[in-house]
A and B are shown apart, each in its own frame.
Chain A
């Protein structure tokens, strides 16, 4: 069974930093692109970043580019999101997610999600 468990959220002051982790199990982690998606309280889903299966490439939403860094450790089956220069508008539940694959082909749909970890940016 695919499992994704986020951790590392909490309260941080504006301008501060935080590193989120996502522990993956139940699948061959190194074979899949992974994503971070966030959701501010009472608001919609917002894609944050993705990283290729081997970590060789990544892309970011404009709102976090230059402040957030996605990375992964395939030996530890763990995805990370380093968040620097945090702002009040970064307050959200952060989800890690994996693409859905049918057979040997993967879609762009995110078929597996963690339970999320809450990041609150406030003084």
Chain B
């Protein structure tokens, strides 16, 4: 089955840049999405189609992709950005979520 791999955790200081990677076989041929999930809350879509932001998502969230690795970048990280982040891709018949990354703002 298809798998997407993320680092388990990322730490960042307030105001600095956090980068989260997501790797998967032939991810370069698929669109990647990113979700933010805070404790006790439903996930929120923050990036779709590799680099697009849904309405209402702050500009500090950006997405990119190089080869088979997608990256979510949070610029000027704020304390409110502390959360779990998941990538997701669609392989034409099934959806797959990444393993998840806990972002800690120190």
Contacts and interface: CB of A to CB of B under 8 A. Distances in A.
A107 B52 CA distance: 10
Contact of B97 (A44, A62, A102, A107): A44
Contact of A111 (B45, B93, B98): B45
Nearest to A48: B95
Find the residue from B54, B55, B99 having the highest chain A CB count within 10 A: B54
Contacts of B97: 37, 44-47
Chain A binding site: helix, strand, loop or mixed by DSSP? strand
A32 interface: no
Contacts of B52: 102, 107
A111 B43 contact: no
Chain B binding site: helix, strand, loop or mixed by DSSP? strand
A113 B42 contact: yes
Given A44-B100, A113-B43, A116-B42, A107 B94 contact: no
What size tier do the contact residues of chain A reach? 20 to 34
Given A47-B97, A109-B49, A111-B48, A95 B88 contact: no
Interface residues of B, number: 28
Nearest to B46: A109
Find the residue from B42, B45, B86, B88 having the highest chain A CB count within 10 A: B42
B35 interface: yes
Contacts of A113: 42-44
Interface in B66-106: 84, 86, 88-90, 93-100
